Amino acid sequence: MELHKNSTKRLANGIEMPRIGLGVYKMTEPDITLQAISTALDNGYRHIDTASFYANEKEVGEAVRNSKLAREDIFITTKVWNTDQGYDQTLKAFEKSLELLGLEYVDLYLTHWPIKETYVDTYRAIERLYEEKLIRATGVSNHHQHHLEAIAAKANIQPMVNQIECHPRLTQVDLRQYCAEKEIAITSWSPLARGGLLEEPILQEISSKYGKSPAHAIIRWHLQSDLIVIPKSITPSRIIDNLDVFDFELSAEDMKRIDALNLNERTGMDPDNLKF
């Protein structure tokens, strides 16, 4: 697979989703957030991953407008939060997100977590937003196979993306396999395990062989695994550096060594055991 800065993943409906994006969770200080997103857009990112829960949709929209880029050249994902779920509530929450973003449409809208009583109805509302052309692609986040099956039983349009926690300590092989069969693209959240993998000796050894950093090796592992990846950084130099992953390729053997770091270890919650 030939990968470059502008590589995209074609979703089931033909929409092209940039394979690398900036995650903006825990960016709460407006000026710093705006600066981080602008740095990303100025340096080649074309995909921003936000959520109503992150309380920075306003800054995301502002950075998009401040950039000299055409709206259609930037891919924006946002998510409906747990307390806003259900059919009518999701439609309302979307309207609020759109208003905060100050945009006319969102590229991808996701159910943030599968809240037992509401996630199927939440996804029905996302389907409606798609039919109304207010979003370009439908999706979910933190959905296990059984959640996706429950949605599939009711939906006319299957989710095109599932955003899940995924990194070398949690490789999610079975869920990835199921999603590949159903043409559901995977986005990896906490792709660097929230920074917790950067001291891992095997990753240090592998990355140094290529003259790269552990962060580069991990991001490259996601990309070569056909995963969409959204590393977060508030630090301008890291934002730029995380995109510097297109001048090397991990060998098949190194990919296997990274796969073998899996411990099924989560940094976040298990979607079947939510503590909300």
Provide the binding-site residues for ligand NDP, judged by CB under 6 A. Answer: 23-25, 49, 112, 141-142, 163, 189-195, 198, 215, 230-235, 238, 241-242, 268
Instruction: Using the minimum distance from each CB to ligand NDP, give the nearer residue, 81 or 130.
Output: 81
Residues with Cβ within 8 Å of 36's Cβ and at least 6 positions away in sequence, in order, are 22, 24, 27, 233, 234, 235, 236, 239
Choose between 18 and 231: whose C-beta lies nearer to ligand NDP: 231
Active-site residue identified among 45, 54, 109, 123: 54
Q: How far is the CB of 56 from ligand NDP (least distance, A)?
A: 10
CB of 266 to ligand NDP, least distance (A): 11
Burial 16-41 (b: 16+ CB within 10 A, else e): ebbbbbbbbbebeeeeebbbbbbbbb
Query: How far apart are alpha carbons 109 and 136 in whole angstroms?
Result: 8
Which residue's Cβ lies closest to ligand NDP?
A: 23
Cβ atoms of 37 and 60 closer than 8 Å: yes
Nearest CA to 23 out of 195, 143, 144 is that of: 195
CA distance 37 to 27: 10
Minimum distance of ligand NDP from residue 164's CB (angstroms):
8
25 is catalytic: no
CA dihedral 237, 242, 79, 179 (to 10 degrees): -170
Q: Is the CB of 63 or the CB of 70 nearer to ligand NDP?
A: 63
Nearer to ligand NDP, 156 or 273 (CB): 273
State the minimum distance, in angstroms, from the CB of residue 133 to ligand NDP.
Answer: 24
Q: Which residues are catalytic?
A: 54
